[in-house]
Amino acid sequence: MCDPCPKSWLYFEPTDSCYKNFTLAGETHQDRYEAYCVRHGAHLASIHSDDEVDFLRKNYGNEERWKGFWMGMVMDSFNRWSHLDGSVVDYFNWNTLQPDNMYSREFCSHQYNTGKWNDIRCNSFEIKDGVCKMPAFAIP
C-alpha cells in the first residue's frame, strides 16, 4: 500500500491531510514559514475542528515551546479571518479574550501547546515553529 504522506509527515485520516512541524533557524516571521510550506507543496495549517486541534496538540505540543506554532489563518484590513490555503474559515478555538488585535497590529495567528488560539503580530519573535498541511496523496 502506498503511504499517503511524504516521509516525516503525519497522516490524519479525518481531514485526509498530511502535517509536518518545523523550525526555521533564525526565522520568526509568519510569511517565511508559509513560504517554506509552499516550497514543499503545502500551506501553514488551516484548522477546522476540535479533532484537528487535538491531533496537532498531541503531536506537536511542546512544553518547552508553549507558545506553540504558526497557523495558516490571517486577518485582512476589514477584520475578516481567512486561511492561506483558501479553505473556508468554519471553526475557531480562541483563547479567553482573543482575538484582541492588540495595538491594531495582530493579523496572524498561532496555536498554543494547549490547543487554544491567539492572534499575534506576523513578525513576532515569540513563535519558533510552524506546521505545514497538505492534502494526502499530493506528494510534490
Predicted confidence (pLDDT) per residue in 40-96, tens digit: 999 999 999 999 999 999 998 776 667 899 999 999 989 999 999 999 999 999 999
Q: Which residues pair with 10 in a beta bridge?
A: 19
Q: Could you tell me the end-to-end alpha-carbon distance of the chain, in angstroms, rounded to an integer? A: 18
3-state secondary structure of 32: helix
Mean per-residue pLDDT, 20-37: 93
pTM: 0.92
What is the domain partition of the chain in residue ranges?
15-135
Alpha carbons 13 and 88: distance in angstroms, whole number: 19
Among candidate residues 138, 97, 136, 140, the one with its CA nearest the CA of residue 119: 97
Tell the CATH topology of 15-135.
Mannose-Binding Protein A; Chain A (3.10.100)
